[in-house]
Structure 1
Amino acid sequence: MSVRSGTNFIGKLISYHPDFETLPPGMTKAEFAFFRGKKENELISFFENFKHYSFADFKTSNEDFKKEFSKWFLDFLLSRHEVQKPYIFIKEPHIQVEHFFEWFPDKKVIMIIRDGRDQVSSFARASNFHKKSYGLSKIARMTLKYYSGYSFYQGCHYFKKNARQFIKNTRKWSDEKYLVIRFEHLENQTAEEIKRVFHFWGVEIDENTIHAMENCEIIGSSFTPKSEYRNRWKPRQKSHSFQPVGRWKNWNVLKKITFKLIAGKELILLGYEKDNSW
């Protein structure tokens, strides 16, 4: 549904299936940013300008252009990366996919949602990790935002915005086109949830593959120790201390009140709470 909702986790899980390829091959952290920043609108503008200035009566509609362009684009990626497997899995942590089926009408979407409180915890923590290339002024701004509580506040608003967009998307999409899964079920009931996913896709999966997925390594966690953060994209085994579900339970009263005021309604709409009495 958004960043820190578990897209890296599900990408790693799917990579264990022998019939699936990620793009680029072997890179489960890659993102399919086709709809990022609503860039697809620029393609439509290009096509409309092309028709307008071509001095010809083109019969191709915008809807046909979307379908043909997306088909070509996927074929281009498959050819460029020499993909031989029958299925590909692409992921995008951003929610700007409301027009997905206009471009990819015959594809199926998995929507992963996560308890907004844990998502905000992860977002806030990740916001204070610094890349080697960052300058001192940027590091200072990030540190100030984190310790002042602004990153937490910002994360609450991101969750609220993305939850509303998720609800809007699923209300207008037909049920057979998408499947909603919860990060918590994927983490704690991996076998059952993975079977749901592959049943939805109509793809067989054997018990050995499911077992491998149940022992999936961690990649990209915001709770990677700071000393190891630069290597967070290297897979590592789960430890007993790795508990990504329920971290919000350590929040103080101020954080709970802040989240409830900003995004408490959306948490209820997604079915994580019945009311704001938690």
Structure 2
Amino acid sequence: MRLNRAAQIFGEMRINQMGHVARRLLGARFLSIEDFLPPITPEQGARLAALARGARGKINTPILVLGVMPRSGTNFVRDLVAMHPDVAADAGRLYEFPLLHAADDAAAFGRDFLRYFPRNGEVLEKYDLLAMLAGAWFRELQAQAPGKHILLKCPHVHNLTLAPYIFPDAKLILCLRDGRDVVDSTLNTFSRYSLARKTFRQLADEWRLGTEAITTFAEGGVNETEDALVVRYEDIVADSQLFVTNMLAHTGLNPEVFPWDRVDQLPVRGSSRSNASDDARWQPQSKASDFNPVKRWAAWSKADKARFDKLAGRALELAGYER
């Protein structure tokens, strides 16, 4: 099975990805801030937003939940938002929507398209096809959920600067979580024998870059926008009712029809402490009375705490976490 997966990965790989994948497999750093915040000029952004709106037409305001990286609580946030009766979660049975994460491949497809007739480059720019795809896709999803607000999620914020333009007018909920708990959860969730497994250093590095990207969208950040709400998983766990209040104000959903009495009764999905395996782990499970997903990293050794602090301590402070 692992050999088949490896063959699939390498079979689908583009030449420009070889170095990236090689560094990852060797345990080296393989990401940079440009992977999360590619530069987009105001002119480029306006063009992309116009293309996306043109392909999309008139739809209800979509909602996208994006996480700093996997194991950051996007399932929990998605489940809270999905409780609203005017929301259509996972429209089109898209349980994950990694379109931004795949933006580089979309740009590569555009280059392939131009290779067959280069003069098309006079009318097509790097992310144009991605913007049109996003718009048309949202139009189709809206047709499948008439009258509802589409809700999609992805536990990644790669290419985050594209989000306001590829998904113009959509309400973004950007989820942070203490990076030490993210690393702890990741290492306890995914098999150590998986080809996709990342090292402690790679996980800390990815969390740092994702956190730096998300905080640029917070109040006072260089990418601040009224369409983005930055939240912390720990704050939602501590006061889910307050999060729902803020989320409803952000998205414009009617608070009077929200099932407030069910907020604190949500089951757990995907816990790293679950004994279930594979798909069963992601099914709703009753919350144990002692369930507490916060500060599990406190049981780490002094060496691991110091190691994470050296790799991503500044980002902890940036996101308001103690070092």
* 2:77 alignment partner in structure 1: 10
* 2:225 alignment partner in structure 1: 175
- Provide Cα deviations, 1:184-206, integer angstroms capped at 9, x if missing partner: 11111000111101101111123
Whether the aligned pair in 2 keeps the contact of 1:121 and 1:152 (CA below 8 Å) is no
Instruction: Name the aligned partner's letter for residue 272 of structure 2.
Output: S
Q: 1:203 aligns with which of 248, 253, 256?
A: 253
Displacement of 1:267 in angstroms is 0.5
* 2:145 alignment partner in structure 1: 83
Q: Does 1:127 align with 2:193?
A: no
Work out the CA distance in 1 between the residues paired with 2:114 and 2:264.
48
Work out the CA distance in 1 between the residues paired with 2:294 and 2:207.
16
Whether the aligned pair in 2 keeps the contact of 1:5 and 1:93 (CA below 8 Å) is yes
Instruction: Name the aligned partner's letter for residue 108 of structure 1.
Output: K
Superposed, 1:120-159 pairs within 5 Å as 120-128=183-191, 138=193, 151-159=199-207
TM-score by length of 1: 0.79
Instruction: Name the aligned partner's letter for residue 154 of structure 1.
Output: Q
Work out the CA distance in 2 between the residues paired with 1:121 and 1:84.
41
Q: Does 1:215 align with 2:278?
A: no
Displacement of 1:49 in angstroms is 5.1
Whether the aligned pair in 2 keeps the contact of 1:13 and 1:213 (CA below 8 Å) is yes
* 2:47 alignment partner in structure 1: none
Q: Does 1:257 align with 2:319?
A: no
* 1:239 alignment partner in structure 2: 288
Superposed, 1:26-175 pairs within 5 Å as 30-37=95-102, 38-45=104-111, 48=114, 52-53=118-119, 58=123, 67-79=131-143, 82-96=144-158, 97-128=160-191, 138=193, 151-168=199-216, 171-175=221-225
* 1:229 alignment partner in structure 2: 277
Query: Structure 1: 5+ residue runs without aligned partners?
Result: 130-137
Q: 1:2 to 1:54 in 2, by over 3 A?
A: closer
Where 2:157 maps in the other structure, the secondary structure is: coil
Work out the CA distance in 1 between the residues paired with 2:145 and 2:109.
26
Percent of residue pairs bearing the same amino acid type: 24
Whether the aligned pair in 2 keeps the contact of 1:21 and 1:85 (CA below 8 Å) is no
Whether the aligned pair in 2 keeps the contact of 1:118 and 1:245 (CA below 8 Å) is yes
Whether the aligned pair in 1 keeps the contact of 2:87 and 2:150 (CA below 8 Å) is yes
TM-score by length of 2: 0.69
Where 1:90 maps in the other structure, the secondary structure is: strand
Q: Number of matched residues?
A: 251
Query: Structure 2: 5+ residue runs without aligned partners?
Result: 1-67
Whether the aligned pair in 1 keeps the contact of 2:176 and 2:233 (CA below 8 Å) is yes
Where 2:101 maps in the other structure, the secondary structure is: helix
